[in-house]
Structure 1
Amino acid sequence: MTAGQIQDNHQRDQLQRRDEGKLNNMSYDLQHLVKQVREIVKMMVRVRDLQCETDWKIFSGSYYCISTEKKSWTSSREDCIAKGADLAIIDSQEEKDLLSGLESSGADIWIGLTDNVQEGTWMWVDGTHVTTKYWADGQPNSKGGNQDCGEMWLKGTWNDELCSTENIWICEK
């Protein structure tokens, strides 16, 4: 091996070590960025989950929180469950008045009411049958035969609606 070849091999080895060092640094930087992104996502989830933590309203031993976004009935219920709650169950005029007063824009609001187990048999999300009823005139009508989820209209009257409709919702715990 000539002196030039030895020098070329030495330079190649130095370049290879330098490139490996750069790759290791880049790999470390990438891992660090991934870790930071994961932390940011965790913080965003905590912020979403805490949305209601400071805004829960109390009434007769229950806590209520109204969403600020719109989702289907099922997605709304999943959000409530993730917060350790469920969609609201209304068993009195006072509770209905309180809940209808939480939302002032007149938006429709998902509550924990459904007849998706048996058409025409309305039940709450906890499996109990509806005894106190605040249906709007002509409701429930199962328009089109597939309105299986309950929503609350302005003034607290109830309506049956397609479960895929996106509404705000009220969680209760």
Structure 2
Amino acid sequence: MELNYVNGLLTDAGLTYSNINEHRVHDQIETSNEQMEKCMQHTIRALQKNQDSDRKLWKTMLTFIIILGFLHLLSIAIMLTLSVHQINHLKEVRQTLNSQNTSLQNYIERQTTYIKVFAEFGEMFVCCPEGWIMFIYKCYYVSKTTETWQNSRNLCKAAGADLVIIDFNEEQDFLEQYTVNQSSYWIGLTDIEVEGQWCWVDRPFSNCSSVKGIDHWAKGEPSKAGGENCAAMKYASWYDRHCTQMNYRICEKKASLCSIKG
């Protein structure tokens, strides 16, 4: 290789040392620019990733807040529903207790009358006709023959009685021991006047609500089947039956005053 000095500069194949240095500096600058550009691009991508992560985080937090709010509203709705149900249940319980209290007061008044009469006639005692069963100054007759509901009521009336009116639970318990077989026994309960409005035969239709005080309907009864407008006792529970069905009957009337002297 031939080297020459020209004007104090070392030359080789027409290139000066100064030109070589300029190329090197230019290359270094380009390399530096490329590195800076790559660094900036990397930084921008990192920032974009962070922004994406922040967006996902905010979306997740927002979704969680919405779900939490929905669950809170749902819990409030459930509590309100339960509160309304409890209030309605308490109203029904109060109505039932009021009705039972009315029935019990009426029964006490009737029994008080008997006690006063007994006190006035010291040599008298309360009795029932032969073949009848006494329970708390009332007489009951359990038939051995079957009839329709209306015929059964007519037969009870002919004996100075009526189909049994069950005023309190103890009375129901007492009658159960005489209806232990598989037969059905007519009682004085019907919805002949208005379908679904069950009334005892001894009270006006306007006071039918008092039947709610005593409830011994079997599960699924009254069945609301068409034409089943008369109630019968079976297995210690009440069933609605067609009034033309042939069943036994339970008659009820007040006990009589009988003389001790005979």
Name 2:238's counterpart in structure 1.
158
Task: Structure 1: state its 5+ residue gaps.
Answer: 1-51
The residue number in structure 1 matching 2:123 is: none
The one-letter code matched in structure 1 to 2:223 is N
Match of 1:81 in 2: 157
Q: Which residue does the alignment assign to 2:100?
A: none
Matched positions, count: 120
Matches within 5 A, 1:9-158: 53-127=129-203, 128-129=207-208, 130-131=211-212, 132-143=214-225, 145-154=226-235, 156-158=236-238
Name the structure where helix makes up a greater proportion of residues: 2
TM-score, L = length of structure 1: 0.66
Which amino acid in the other structure matches residue 201 of structure 2? V
Q: What secondary structure does 1:97 align onto?
A: helix
Residue aligned with 1:99, SS:
helix
Contact 1:109 1:153 in 2 (8 A): yes
2:8 matched to which residue of 1?
none
Task: Write the deviation string for residues 56-114 of structure 1: whole angstroms up to 9, x where unpaired.
Answer: 11112211010000000000000000000000011222111111211332211000000
> What TM-score does the superposition give when structure 2 sets the normalisation length?
0.44
Considering Cα pairs closer than 8 Å and 6+ residues apart, tell me whether 1 or 2 has the greater RCO.
1
- The CA distance in 2 between the partners of 1:109 and 1:61, in whole Å, is 22
Which amino acid counterpart does residue 224 of structure 2 have in structure 1? Answer: S
| Rounded Cα–Cα distance in structure 2 between residues aligned with 1:104 and 1:139 | 19
**Contact 1:142-1:161 within 8 A present in 2 as well:** no
**Using the alignment, how far apart are the partners of 1:121 and 1:76 within structure 2?**
21
Matched-pair identity in % = 41
Per-residue deviation, 1:117: 0.6
- The alpha-carbon deviation at position 133 of structure 1 amounts to 1.0
* Runs of at least 4 residues off by over 4 Å: none
Please give the alpha-carbon distance, in whole angstroms, between the structure 2 residues aligned to 1:100 and 1:78. Answer: 23
SS at match of 1:55: coil
SS at match of 1:79: helix
In structure 2, list runs of 5 or more residues that go unmatched. 1-127, 254-262
Root-mean-square deviation (Å) = 1.4
Please tell me the residue identity of whatever aligns with 1:146: G
Cα deviation code 1:24-70 (max 9, x no counterpart):
xxxxxxxxxxxxxxxxxxxxxxxxxxxx9312111122110100000
